[in-house]
Amino acid sequence: MRVKHTAITLALITTLSACGGSGSDDTSTETPVVPTTGFSFVATEMIINLTDDVIVAGYADLAAQGDTLLLATQTLLTSTSQADLVAAQNAWKSARQPWEQGESHIFGPVDSLSIDPHLDSWPLNTTDLQTQLDSNSGFDAETIKAWNDDVQGFHTMEYLLFGDGVNSNTKLIADLSTKEREYLIALAEVFRDYTAQLDDAWQVSHNPQDKNAKPYAELLKTPGDATNTIYSSQLAVIEELINGMIGIVDEVGNGKIADPFGESLTTADTSKVESQYSWNSLTDFSNNIIGVRNVYQGEFTGGADKQGLIDFVTAADTTLATRVASEIDDAILKIQAISGSTSMPFRQAILDDDGRARTQVAVDALTKLQATLQSDVLPLLSDWNS
Amino acid sequence: MNNTLTLLAVSVASVLGLSVMSNAHAATNTEIFAKAIAKQEAEIALLKQQLTTLASEQKQQQQQNKLVATQVDTVVQKTAEAHDRFSRFSVNSYGSAVYTSDEYFDNVQDTSAERRNRTDLERIVTEFGYQFTDDWSMEVEIEYEHGGTGSALEYDGFDEFGEFESEVEAGGEVVVEKAEIRYRPSKAFGVKFGNIHLPIGLSSILHKPSQYLTVQRHKSEAAMMPTVWNENGIGVYGEMSDFHYQAQVISGLNSEYFRTYDWVASGHQKRFEEVNTDDLAFAGRLDYGNFKTGSAIGVAYYYGNTSGNRHKSNKLDVDGALRIMSVAGAFVEGPWILRGQYLYGTLDNADAITLANKTTPGLRPGNFAQLGSESQSFFVEAGVKLDEWFDIPMTVFANIDYSNPLMAVETGTATQRYENTWSSVGINYSPIPEVVIKAEGGLHQVAVASIPDTNFFALGVGYQFSL
């Protein structure tokens, strides 16, 4: 009897003490280390330039492409002209460009307002898409907004515009059913709304619920400001930018390309290829890395020279600055080269021995770039006398 | 004592004898006679004194005896009290560990399933109870899930390239599943308050491994509402003849966390330290018979608004009234076991909630925002105890679980992707009454034709005991 009670008591004590163990984390505030060496760089101009001329300009372009795409799909409602379908396909590809380039800085409203999944959910749910087509008519944008993300956005429109992409990426206007046209137009309207909302969040107010909220661009450009609750310093902004570049290089190399690529030809899986219906995959991937170049160089390809992260890296190490620039260019070229001399789309290339060899070269280039950004560029932040 | 008296008697006799003898000399010598008298008197006095002493000693001893008796009484009483106190204290425990083998799909486009085997120390539950008085009692239930505590990393195969996300709420956890104070003046009426179990869903009533036949608890219920549902609140309960009733007012759910695949289940407010209780809910149940001990039939109803408990209160300006109805029955007689439950629920303004969840900054419902305006699920399990005919403590069973959290949507057509049916057969083997070993194999079907059926297999072991 006594032994039993002692056992119960012990069990109780053990249980109760186990329950009471939750304590608050020790969040020790780090004292800033004042470097005795390091490099100097005045980042204000670079941050303003990257915000206005790269990021905001990109989202403004995307919103404009959203308008164009809606118009192009509306034309299809009663059209019998193949040229109209091709025009809509091209409008889709044009909208794809600023979006994919913008993935190099996928922070801020696109993330906090969950706009990314509404626009670019992958994979597409063709089963549900077919259900919607079969059982609805007179699609409207507000209804579609309430549906799950895998039956709206870029890839749903892509599927309707280009077909299943297995053997070709051309679809005949005659094969586009009335319901598909209606659905497409409503999807484009939803798309237009979200891209406009994203643009507004950067230029008008970053929180649509709060009219007094500043535009997100303002927050990025005024780090350390007393009212700035998001960025406490210029260092925080630059860190966000560098991490954004690392993030997309990682996603392209280790996700978008490597996942369908597989370890061998037998484990390659074309069902995982993004933008497979339009055969736009390689353009997507290279646009992702061109987005990295935009942030690094401070201007869109071919634009007049402005300050970008390259100027920050140059202030610390000119050799490294040049090396990063060439590694970025190299990665873009290697991705584009996957198509080979026969303009092979990515979904075919991963099932082809030579195509696989070229793909491996591109993956290696991306791995190298990612390593450089992580182990050489990111650590510069601690050497910077900000 | 008796010896002393005998001695005394002998002495008295001898003294008297002496006096008789000395009478002969008295006539001759008065002096001697007087001396003898004096001597005798002195002896008598001494004897009297001795008698008095003896009497007082006897009295003292009696008193002492009384004292000892009282002390013995006290000790006996205290022992009884201590025993009583411990008998008012109860400890129960139950738990289970499972091995599952099922097939999964990489993403929504994938139609060739891959097999995945998993083991899980599902739960270890300890219950402590104490009966303060005849009317007042308390009970605390602490559950350790998945053998540990802390946040867990989850793999979400539905996401773009498969995403690893850390889930604070999932994985190993320690949960207080129940902590209630009860006042029960009579069998017909009782009150309980604190963190109490809702009587909606049979899993809340039959949650010990020996109380259900499947290896894991019924999947149908979990795909629609919180299972072993506990909330803070107050409830009345009791029984009259064979009727059992319960009525409760409890904290409601938060619609921010409603998701396509499990309807309102993840709206159970476990993520935060404090529960928003701007919207209360009502739960009621009426059973005829007792599900825990045998045959019964019963109905249950839940009603509550869910919009007021949202953290971001400015995202939704309409009610999200939720209703869940349940009909359940059990027939447990001789070797036969048959149990079933049907659940049906409706959610008001499901589209508005979907849209609010989709556009609340940072909420990330991902691809699972769309909510059913109606939801339904059911299960039927049937078993036969073989020990009726053979010398083996085994039950064979068949089970069907069905759930469709997206039974209907407010506008448009609901996808059938979330309409699942699990059909299985299996055994329960109990080498001793406290332990049950289970095996189950079955078929999982998704209502979408293009998604192939998959097979699953599971093994489990469960225990339970009460001190």
Q: Is residue B62 part of a domain?
A: no
Give A1's pLDDT tier (boundaries 50, 70, 90): very low
Q: Which of residues 247-286 of B touch A (CB under 8 A)?
A: 260
Find residue B233's DSSP bridge partners: B194, B250
Asked if residue A51 has pLDDT above 60, the reply is yes
Q: For A265-288, write each residue's pLDDT tens digit.
A: 999 999 889 999 999 999 999 999
Interface contact flag, B415 A131, Cβ < 8 Å: yes
Question: If you measure CA to CA, which chain A residue comes closest to B160?
Answer: A122
pLDDT at residue B361 in the model: 77
Q: Is residue B3 part of a domain?
A: no
Facing residue for B358 by CB, picked from A114, A123, A259: A114
In angstroms, the CA A366 to CA A252 distance is: 8
Facing residue for A148 by CB, picked from B260, B448, B451: B260
Q: Is residue B183 part of a domain?
A: yes
CB A336 within 8 A of CB A345: no
Interface contact flag, B413 A136, Cβ < 8 Å: yes
Q: Which of residues 295-314 of B touch A (CB under 8 A)?
A: 314
Question: If you measure CA to CA, which chain A residue comes closest to B141?
Answer: A15
CB atoms within 10 A of CB B114: 11
Read off the tokens for B135: 């009317």
- Mean of the pLDDT values across residues A246-263? 95
Facing residue for B450 by CB, picked from A118, A127, A147: A127
Q: Is there a single domain that holds both residue A62 and residue A171?
A: yes
For residue A8, the chain B residues in CB contact (below 8 A) are: 89, 91, 467
Q: Which of A207, A226, A260 is the last residue of a domain?
A: A207
Interface contact flag, B142 A15, Cβ < 8 Å: yes
Largest Cα span, chain B: 147
Domain that holds residue B138: 93-383+402-419
Q: Which of residues 183-242 of B touch A (CB under 8 A)?
A: none
Residue A323 CB burial class (10 angstroms; 0-12, 13-18, ≥19): middle
Q: Any chain B CB within 8 A of the CB of A284?
A: no
CB atoms within 10 A of CB A104: 27
For residue B314, the chain A residues in CB contact (below 8 A) are: 209
Q: Which of residues 263-282 of A touch B (CB under 8 A)?
A: 269, 271-272, 274
Q: Any chain B CB within 8 A of the CB of A34?
A: no
Q: Which residues contact B302 (CB under 8 A, 6 or more apart)?
A: B198, B200, B281, B282, B283, B322, B323, B324, B325
In angstroms, the CA B438 to CA B430 distance is: 9
For the complex shown, is ipTM > 0.95? no
Residue A25: strand, helix, or coil: coil
Interface contact flag, B108 A122, Cβ < 8 Å: no
Q: Is residue B23 part of a domain?
A: no
Facing residue for B108 by CB, picked from A12, A143, A150: A150
Q: How far is B88 from chain A (nearest CA, A)?
A: 12
Question: Long-range CB contacts (< 8 A, 24+ apart) of B418-423?
Answer: B418/B223, B418/B260, B418/B261, B419/B446, B419/B447, B419/B448, B420/B219, B420/B223, B420/B444, B420/B445, B420/B446, B420/B447, B421/B445, B421/B447, B422/B219, B422/B220, B422/B456, B423/B398, B423/B399
Please identify which residue in the block is written with the tokens 């535009």: A215
Radius of gyration of chain A measured on its C-alpha atoms? 25
Please identify which residue in the block is written with the tokens 């999947």: B219
In one-letter notation, the amino acid at residue A117 is P
Whichever domain contains A179, its CATH number is 1.20.1420.20
Read off the tokens for B206: 């039959």
Sign (positive or negative) of CA dihedral B127, B337, B218, B378: negative
Residue of B92, B107, B173, B354 to mutate, testing the A interface (most A Cβ within 10 Å of its Cβ): B107
Q: Any chain B CB within 8 A of the CB of A12?
A: yes
Q: How far is A317 from chain B (nearest CA, A)?
A: 35
Interface contact flag, B89 A8, Cβ < 8 Å: yes
Q: Is there a single domain that holds both residue A240 and residue A368?
A: yes
CB atoms within 10 A of CB B162: 14
Classify residue B106 by its DSSP letter: S
Interface contact flag, B361 A113, Cβ < 8 Å: yes
For residue B369, the chain A residues in CB contact (below 8 A) are: 146, 148-149
Asked if residue A3 has pLDDT above 70, the reply is no
Asked if residue A33 has pLDDT above 90, the reply is no
Terminal CA-to-CA distance of chain A, rounded, Å? 72
For residue A150, the chain B residues in CB contact (below 8 A) are: 108, 367
Main-chain phi, psi angles of B312, to 5 degrees: -90, 95
Q: What's the total number of domains in chain A? A: 2
Least confident interval from A6-10, A223-227, A322-326, B416-420? A6-10
Read off the tokens for A142: 């507000």
In angstroms, the CA B287 to CA A59 distance is: 61
Q: Which of A160, A191, A207 is the last residue of a domain?
A: A207
Q: Is there a single domain that holds both residue A187 and residue A305?
A: no
Q: Is residue A362 part of a domain?
A: yes
Q: Any chain A CB within 8 A of the CB of B160?
A: yes
Q: Is there a single domain that holds both residue A140 and residue A249?
A: no
Give A24's pLDDT tier (boundaries 50, 70, 90): very low
- The rounded mean pLDDT for chain A is 90
Q: Is residue B13 part of a domain?
A: no
E strands, A235-323, in order: none
Q: Which of residues 117-146 of A touch B (CB under 8 A)?
A: 117-118, 121-128, 131-132, 135-136, 143, 145-146
Q: How far is A246 from chain B (nearest CA, A)?
A: 17
Q: Is there a single domain that holds both residue A85 and residue A195?
A: yes
Find residue B94's DSSP bridge partners: B125, B464
Read off the tokens for B35: 């001396």
Q: Is there a single domain that holds both residue A188 and residue A115?
A: yes
Q: Is there a single domain that holds both residue A59 and residue A202?
A: yes
Please identify which residue in the block is written with the tokens 């404090």: B274
- CA angle, residues B243, B248, B251, in degrees to nearest 5: 155
In one-letter notation, the amino acid at residue A267 is T
Q: Is there a single domain that holds both residue A281 and residue A160?
A: no
Q: Is residue A35 part of a domain?
A: no
How far are the Cα atoms of A13, A23, A259, A320, B143 from residue A18, in angstroms, in the given order? Answer: 8, 12, 43, 52, 12
Q: What's the total number of domains in chain B? A: 1
Q: Is residue B250 part of a domain?
A: yes
Interface contact flag, B369 A127, Cβ < 8 Å: no
Listed residue (A224, A219, A226) closest to A205, CA to CA: A219
Q: For A143-169, write each residue's pLDDT tens digit.
A: 899 899 999 999 999 999 999 999 999
Q: How far is A130 from chain B (nearest CA, A)?
A: 10
For residue B446, the chain A residues in CB contact (below 8 A) are: none
Q: Is residue B273 part of a domain?
A: yes
In one-letter notation, the amino acid at residue A27 is T
Q: How far is B142 from chain A (nearest CA, A)?
A: 9
For residue B408, the chain A residues in CB contact (below 8 A) are: none
In angstroms, the CA B363 to CA B118 distance is: 30
Q: For A76-131, write each residue's pLDDT tens digit.
A: 999 999 999 999 999 999 999 999 999 999 999 998 888 999 999 988 999 889 88
Listed residue (B179, B184, B227) closest to B202, CA to CA: B227
CB A176 within 8 A of CB A148: no
pLDDT at residue A20 in the model: 41
Q: Is there a single domain that holds both residue A187 and residue A110?
A: yes
Q: Is there a single domain that holds both residue A351 and residue A286?
A: yes
Interface contact flag, A135 B413, Cβ < 8 Å: yes
Q: Is there a single domain that holds both residue A245 and residue A182?
A: no
Interface contact flag, B160 A123, Cβ < 8 Å: yes
In angstroms, the CA A127 to CA B452 distance is: 13
H/E stretch holding B64: helix B30-87
In angstroms, the CA B268 to CA B195 distance is: 13
pLDDT at residue A249 in the model: 97
Main-chain phi, psi angles of A323, to 5 degrees: -60, -45
Give A226's pLDDT tier (boundaries 50, 70, 90): confident
Asked if residue A57 has pLDDT above 50, the reply is yes
Interface contact flag, B108 A8, Cβ < 8 Å: no
Find residue B182's DSSP bridge partners: B137, B192
In angstroms, the CA B143 to CA A18 distance is: 12
pLDDT at residue A112 in the model: 86
Facing residue for B160 by CB, picked from A5, A122, A127: A122
Q: Which of residues 344-383 of B touch A (CB under 8 A)?
A: 351, 354-355, 358-370
Sign (positive or negative) of CA dihedral B198, B201, B205, B207: negative
In angstroms, the CA A155 to CA A272 distance is: 13
Interface contact flag, A149 B369, Cβ < 8 Å: yes
pLDDT at residue B109 in the model: 77
Read off the tokens for A151: 């039956």
- CA angle, residues B250, B252, B255, in degrees to nearest 5: 170
Main-chain phi, psi angles of B460, to 5 degrees: -155, 155
pTM score over 0.95: no
- For helices A154-162 and A82-102, give the axis angle rounded to 10 degrees: 150
Interface contact flag, A255 B160, Cβ < 8 Å: yes
Q: How far is A283 from chain B (nearest CA, A)?
A: 18
Listed residue (B305, B414, B300, B282) closest to B353, CA to CA: B305
pLDDT at residue B158 in the model: 58
Asked if residue A18 has pLDDT above 90, the reply is no
Query: Running along chain B, 467 residues long, what does each successive block of 10 average in pLDDT?
Result: 54 52 60 91 94 94 94 93 87 96 84 89 94 94 83 63 62 86 96 96 93 96 93 97 97 95 93 89 97 95 96 89 98 96 97 90 83 97 95 97 96 89 97 97 92 95 94
Domain that holds residue A334: 234-382
Q: Is residue B315 part of a domain?
A: yes
Classify residue A138 by its DSSP letter: S
Please identify which residue in the block is written with the tokens 């406009």: A196
Residue A322: strand, helix, or coil: helix
Asked if residue A27 has pLDDT above 50, the reply is no
Question: If you measure CA to CA, which chain A residue comes closest to B313?
Answer: A209
Facing residue for B314 by CB, picked from A113, A150, A209: A209
Q: Is there a single domain that holds both residue A100 and residue A201?
A: yes
For residue A117, the chain B residues in CB contact (below 8 A) are: 366-367
Listed residue (B452, B443, B411) closest to B424, CA to CA: B443
Classify residue A213 by its DSSP letter: P
Residue of B112, B127, B161 to mutate, testing the A interface (most A Cβ within 10 Å of its Cβ): B161
In angstroms, the CA B414 to CA A71 distance is: 29
Listed residue (B356, B268, B260, B354) closest to B304, CA to CA: B268
For residue B359, the chain A residues in CB contact (below 8 A) are: 113-114
